[in-house]
Structure 1
C-alpha cells in the first residue's frame, strides 16, 4: 500500500540534538557509494536509509505520477516472488521495508535483525533492482493512487496547497502533485513504470545513512550488494523553479463554513550564510507554536483561528517561506490582514531580545526529546548528506543557533520578509474576499 507522506526532511535534519553522544563514521563502499554510519552493537538490529536525489520531479509532463506509482510497486513482488510471497518472506525475517516518493527524492528504508541480515538484504536487493511490476499489481496500485487523487480533490487543505504550487511554479514539475492527475495516472503503462524506476534509482544519486549493529566494512559490502545492479547514472534533473507568484489573494470556491488559507513567498537556501538567522526568525514568526507571533496575534489576541504556523520549505529547486491556517468564513479576511501586519512589523522593526532569547532557548533545548533511536539517526544521516551538510554539524548545530544575534535576525527579517509579496490561496467561501483582492 502506498503511504501518504509530507516531506519532513527539514524537520529531520534539525531533530538531532547537538548534545547527542554519537560518533559518525564516513564510509565509502567498494563500489564508491557514500554512507554515514553510527555503529551501535548494543541491540542486534540495523536501520538503513537510502536517499536517491531526483524524485517525482523527474517525471515527464505526460507521465506525471509514474515515480510515485513505481515506488508503491516495489513491495508488490520482486524476482521469483509475487506480492503475497514477497510480503510473507519479509515478515518471516522480522524485517521491515518502506518505499517512499517525494518531490525531490525517493527513499528506501530498511530495518533488519543482525541474525537475518543476509537474507533480508537479498530481499531488499530484489525489490530495488528486480521488481516484477506485474500487471495485476500495477492495476491495484493505480486504483490506490486514483483514490488518493479523488480524496485530495475534496480536501480543502490539499486544494489550497496544490493551487498555491500551481500558481507559483506553473509548468515546472513543482507546479504539479507528485501523484499525478487522474488522466496521467490512468494512461501510465508498465513501460512508463520501468522507465521511472531506471531514472529514479541510480547509484550516482544515492546517499546512505546507517545506524546499529554493523561495522563500516560490513556496511560497505552490504550497500554494494543491495544497490550494485542499479543503473550507474540518472537523467538530468529539471532546472530551478522560479517563484512566480506576486502578492495578493486567490479564492477557490468550496462549500464549507470554514476557509483554509495557504500563504507564503520565496524563501532562503539552506547554504545561505543567513540561513540560521532565518531559521530562528521563523521560529519567532510562526514556527514556535503558542510562542510565535502569528499564534499570539491571530489566535490568542483576536480569536481568528484555532491554529496558525509558518515554516521554511527547503525544496531543492525553489525554497519558500510558507504558512497555513483555517478560519471561519466571516473571519478569514481579518486573519489575513493580521498576518500581513505581523509580516510587515517584523520586516521593519525586527524582534525583541526577549523573543530571541526565548526562541534560542527552546530550539537548543527541545531537540534531545525528539531523538529516538537508530531509525531516526539513519534518516538524519542520509538527509544531511543529501543536503551537503558537513558531518560535524551534529556537534556544532546548537552553537550555530546560539551564535545568531539580534542584529542578525533584524537584518534577515528585512531581507527575507516581503509583506507586499505575500500571496494567500483561500479555499472556502470567505466573506469579503474574491479573486484578485
Structure 2
C-alpha cells in the first residue's frame, strides 16, 4: 500500500550541512510568501551549490474513481513526459543536459513533486518545473509507454506474497474504503486509462489552495519568492477534491490465501492514532519498544532472537488523513505461522498488562532523540521534512520541540497509549503462503 520514491542524485556527494548540522535544532526555517500569496518554508545553505525543492498537493490516489484505479499514479508518471512545446524525449533530454531531477509521485492523501538542481541551472530548472505543472502534454506515446510499464509491474506484484497479504489486510481492515484501492491500479483499470482521463484528473488535483512547499539550499528568500509565483502561480485557485470518508477499522479477523512460495507472509493491523493526537508521541515511543526498534524491539527479541521464527518482524504507526492504523509484519515457515502469530499477540498483551521497564523507556528515548539528526543530513531529507511538517500541521518550530516532546514521555504515558491502541483489541491478521499439510503441521 505504500509508495516508494526513487530519486536520481544530482551529484555523487549530496551531503547537506555535513558536520555543521549536528542536531535538528540547527535547522533555521524561514517562512517565505510570494507576491501572489504562495507560501513556502525555506532552509538556506550556501556552502554547496544545490537547491532542493519538495512540494505536495492535497489529494492523492484516494481521489481515483473506483473504476479508474491507478489514474493518479499514471498522472505522476506522465506529468514530466513532455510539456509546452517540448515532446517527452526533448523534455527528458533537457533535464539530463542540465543535471536536473524532476519527479512526481503519489500517496493515498497527497500528490508529490521533487526538484533538484545545481544553482547555476536554477532558472532553467524552474522553467521546466513550471512547464510540467502548467502545460503537460499527455501525448499518446509516453502515456501508453508508462501504462505498459505499470501493467508489467502489476502482473509481477500479483506473484508477490507481501503484496497479496497487504491487499488482504487492508480490505479486511477497511472494507471498500478508497485507501484499499491499488495505487498503481489493476491490469484492467490501468489498461483502460486515456490521456483525457489524465487531463481531467490533473485539472481536479493540482491547485494553489492545496500546495505545500519546502525548499533547501543555495537560494535566499528574495530570490525564492518570485520563483514560487513563476512555478505555481498559473495553477487554478482551488482543487476539485472528493471528500474521503473517515476510517472505520475492523479488528479481530483472520484471512488467508494460498500461494506457492517458500514462506508464509504475515501482516497484522489495528486502529491507530492520528498525527495531531496529543498521545501520538507516547504511542510512537511505545511502538518503538514493541516493534519499531528493529534489533532492540520486543518482537525482534521474542520472535527472532529467542525462537528463530523469522528473519524480520516489526510494527509501525500509519497516520493517514482519514484516520490512523497500526501495522505489523513478519515472514516465517508455514508450519511456524501460528506460533509466530501467538508470540506476537503475547507481546501485545505484555505491553498492555506490564508495559516497559524504565530502562527500556530510557533506551528508546535516547535512540529516538539521538537518531533524529539523521533525518537532516541531506538537502533532500530536509526538504521532505519541511513538506511533511506542513501537511501534518505541526508548526514551524517542531524541529526545536520534537526531542523535548519525546523526552517528556513517561512510563504512565506509554502504558496509557498501549491500553488505547492494544488493550482489549485483537488485530486483524492476513496470512499468505504455501498450503499446509499434516506432515508440515506436525513438523515431520
User: Following the alignment from structure 2 to structure 1, what is the Cα–Cα distance between the partners of residues 320 and 191?
Assistant: 28
**Residue 19 and residue 111 in structure 1: after superposition, are their counterparts in 2 closer, same or farther (change >3 A)?**
closer
Q: What is the Cα deviation at residue 240 of structure 1?
A: 3.0
TM-score (norm 1): 0.93
CA distances 1:200-253 after superposition (whole Å, capped 9, x unpaired): 211110110001111112212111101122121112343334233221311111
User: Following the alignment from structure 1 to structure 2, what is the Cα–Cα distance between the partners of residues 373 and 350?
Assistant: 36
Q: What is the Cα deviation at residue 37 of structure 1?
A: 0.3
2:292 equivalent to 1:287: yes
Q: What is the Cα deviation at residue 381 of structure 1?
A: 0.5
SS state at 2:323 partner: coil
User: What runs of 5+ residues in structure 2 fail to find an aligned partner?
Assistant: 7-20, 439-444
Residue 173 of structure 2 is matched in structure 1 by 168
User: Following the alignment from structure 1 to structure 2, what is the Cα–Cα distance between the partners of residues 267 and 210?
Assistant: 31
Question: Which of 101, 114, 123 in structure 2 is aligned with 1:109?
Answer: 114
Matches within 5 A, 1:384-403: 384-403=389-408
CA distances 1:7-65 after superposition (whole Å, capped 9, x unpaired): 9xxxxxxxx98544121001122222221000112222211011112111111112221
User: What runs of 5+ residues in structure 1 fail to find an aligned partner?
Assistant: 8-15
Residue 11 of structure 2 is matched in structure 1 by none
Q: What is the Cα deviation at residue 383 of structure 1?
A: 1.0
**Which moved further from structure 2: 417-426 or 393-402?**
417-426
- Tell me if structure 2 keeps the 8 A contact 1:350–1:414: no
Q: What is the Cα deviation at residue 321 of structure 1?
A: 0.7
- Tell me if structure 1 keeps the 8 A contact 2:204–2:241: no
CA distances 1:144-177 after superposition (whole Å, capped 9, x unpaired): 1111211111111111112211222222211111
User: Following the alignment from structure 1 to structure 2, what is the Cα–Cα distance between the partners of residues 394 and 246?
Assistant: 35
2:422 equivalent to 1:423: no
Residue 94 of structure 1 is matched in structure 2 by 99
- Tell me if structure 2 keeps the 8 A contact 1:277–1:404: yes
User: Following the alignment from structure 1 to structure 2, what is the Cα–Cα distance between the partners of residues 55 and 18?
Assistant: 32
TM-score (norm 2): 0.92
Residue 245 of structure 2 is matched in structure 1 by 240
Residue 274 of structure 2 is matched in structure 1 by 269
Question: Which of 227, 237, 247 in structure 2 is aligned with 1:222?
Answer: 227
Residue 410 of structure 1 is matched in structure 2 by 415
Corresponding pairs, count = 423
Question: Which of 298, 306, 312 in structure 1 is aligned with 2:311?
Answer: 306
Question: Which of 203, 207, 214 in structure 1 is aligned with 2:208?
Answer: 203
- Tell me if structure 1 keeps the 8 A contact 2:272–2:317: yes
- Tell me if structure 2 keeps the 8 A contact 1:18–1:394: no
SS state at 1:421 partner: coil
Residue 13 of structure 1 is matched in structure 2 by none
Q: What is the Cα deviation at residue 198 of structure 1?
A: 1.2
- Tell me if structure 2 keeps the 8 A contact 1:241–1:318: yes
User: Following the alignment from structure 1 to structure 2, what is the Cα–Cα distance between the partners of residues 386 and 180?
Assistant: 25
SS state at 1:331 partner: helix
CA distances 1:271-325 after superposition (whole Å, capped 9, x unpaired): 1111110010000000001110111111111111111000000111121111001
Q: What is the Cα deviation at residue 134 of structure 1?
A: 0.4
2:151 equivalent to 1:146: yes
